[in-house]
């Protein structure tokens, strides 16, 4: 018999159906978002002087059913703090979190979530299989289903051959895969993964990406954190960039793919252009910044900047030789949010 889950204001839905490849039973449009975060704020106190450290401040975003949302940010940006708050492992100072239509502290919602911590801690003396059986106990998986559930999870993360080895002998990447297997055991509707690719070799990263893509295709919602831009670009439907605890960009990746920057070539060298009082942002991203000779390579992030730059060139008497559109990748945006610390593109943050 399949486990049934009660969704607030929704009919009973077999949880297994959500990851067994069947169509999503209730129309997504009729459902509340899988996750909604509003004004999340957490300040830590640290050391003898109780110095205040910003974990996150005013973070708001939401994730639709069946979507992959990536929290992207450098070390210390606030990714783990955000995820800790979602799971009620960290108590926020302020803010509201709704998981699968329920308050995030509601056990009914939490039972439908799979979680991979940033640094999973497992008992060294257990084998991989024993660990997953232990988690089946915690999840109250009926005895007759356990073997299939454990085998299924081991197979999905490619750990079947090593299932009989003790965890103390596992490599970092193998532990990470087992951590993923444990997150999948409860057949979750929402997966929350803190740095799921960490410790994996390129092959392992690709396998995990494929696995997450499969889960997504089967209707599972995934929230993951990462600082690896290509992984995010290939998987996520939407991305939130965190910088020093603030969400500086919250955008759908489709919209980013359509975003366009411009490269402007102007007669005269860059030093000359700088002296002409062109905006500083135009001088920094143009590529050939070191060139003392040849046309100045200037950059505009969007059409409004392009207009400003062309006006400035005209006012300075610098002839414009060419204007080329340039696709703005997520990598570009990520770097620019960190250089300038501002919302750089259509952000709702």
Q: Select 31 or 80, whichever has its Cβ closest to Mg ion.
A: 80
Q: Is 60 helix (H, G, I), strand (E, B) or coil?
A: strand
At closest approach, how far in Å is the CB of 78 from ligand ATP? 4
- Interface with ligand ATP (CB under 6 A), residue from 46, 210, 289, 303: 46
78: partner contacted, choices Mg ion, ligand ATP, none (Cβ within 5-8 A by kind): ligand ATP
Q: How far is the CB of 59 from ligand ATP (least distance, A)?
A: 11
Residue 80 sits in the site that holds Mg ion (CB under 5 A)? yes
Task: Determine the size of the site formed for ligand ATP (CB under 6 A).
Answer: 14
Q: Of all helices (H) and strands (E), which one includes residue 204?
A: helix 202-217
Residue 93 burial (CB count, 10 A) = 13
Residue closer to ligand ATP by CB (options 76, 152) is 76
Told to check if 93 binds ligand ATP by CB under 6 A, we report no
Q: Is 317 left (phi over 0), alpha (psi -120 to 50) or beta?
A: left
Whether the CB-CB separation of 337 and 243 falls below 8 Å is answered with: yes
3-state secondary structure of 180: helix
The region of 70-78, 93-101, 173-181, 215-223 touching ligand ATP under the rule CB under 6 A is 70-78
Number of H helices, E strands in the chain: 13, 15
Restricted to residues 132-191, the positions that interact with ligand ATP (CB under 6 A) are: none
Stretch that binds Mg ion, among 114-122, 164-172, 183-191, 318-326 (CB under 5 A): 114-122
Which residues from 72-91 bind ligand ATP, rule CB under 6 A?
73, 75-81
* Residue 240 within binding range of ligand ATP, rule CB under 6 A: no
CA distance 159 to 156: 8
What percent of the chain is helix, strand and coil (3-state, nearest 5)?
A: 35, 25, 35
Residue 55 binding partner per list Mg ion, ligand ATP, none, with a CB distance cut-off of 5 to 8 Å that depends on partner kind: ligand ATP
Query: Can you tell me the distance from the alpha carbon of 298 to that of 271, in angstroms, rounded to the nearest whole number?
Result: 12
Q: Which of 101, 118, 333 is nearest to 240 (CA)?
A: 333
> Using CB under 6 A as the criterion, which residues of the chain lie in contact with ligand ATP when the complex forms?
44, 46, 53, 55, 73, 75-81, 118, 227
- Binding positions for Mg ion, rule: CB under 5 A: 79-80, 118
């Amino acid at each position: 018999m399949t486990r049934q889950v009660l969704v607030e204001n929704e009919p009973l839905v077999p949880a297994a159906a959500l990851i067994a490849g069947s169509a999503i039973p209730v129309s997504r449009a009729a459902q509340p978002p899988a996750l909604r975060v509003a004004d999340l704020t957490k300040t830590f106190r640290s050391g003898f002087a109780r110095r205040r450290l910003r974990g996150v401040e005013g973070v708001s975003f939401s994730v639709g059913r069946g979507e992959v949302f990536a929290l992207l940010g450098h070390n210390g940006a606030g990714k783990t703090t955000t995820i800790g708050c979602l799971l009620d492992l960290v108590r926020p100072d302020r803010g509201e979190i709704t998981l699968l239509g329920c308050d995030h502290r509601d056990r009914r919602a939490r039972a439908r979530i799979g979680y991979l911590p940033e640094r999973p801690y497992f008992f060294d003396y257990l084998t991989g299989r024993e660990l997953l059986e232990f988690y089946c106990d915690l999840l109250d998986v009926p005895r007759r289903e356990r073997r299939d559930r454990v085998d299924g999870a081991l197979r999905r993360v490619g750990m079947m051959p090593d299932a009989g080895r003790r965890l103390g002998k596992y490599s970092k990447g193998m532990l990470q895969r087992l951590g993923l297997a444990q997150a999948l055991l409860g057949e979750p509707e929402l997966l929350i993964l803190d740095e799921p690719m960490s410790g994996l070799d390129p092959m392992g990263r690709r396998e995990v990406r494929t696995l997450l893509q499969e889960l997504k295709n089967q209707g599972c919602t995934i929230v993951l954190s990462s600082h690896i831009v290509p992984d995010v670009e290939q998987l996520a439907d939407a991305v939130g960039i965190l910088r020093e605890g603030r969400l500086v960009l919250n955008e759908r990746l489709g919209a980013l793919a359509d975003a366009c920057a411009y490269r402007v070539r102007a007669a005269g060298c860059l030093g000359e252009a700088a002296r002409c009082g062109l905006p500083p942002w135009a001088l920094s991203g143009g590529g050939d910044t070191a060139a003392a000779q040849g046309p100045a390579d200037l950059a505009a992030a969007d059409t409004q900047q392009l207009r400003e730059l062309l006006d400035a060139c005209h006012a300075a008497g610098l002839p414009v030789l060419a204007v080329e559109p340039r696709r703005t990748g997520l990598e570009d945006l990520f770097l620019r949010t960190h250089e300038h610390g501002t919302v750089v593109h259509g952000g709702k943050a």
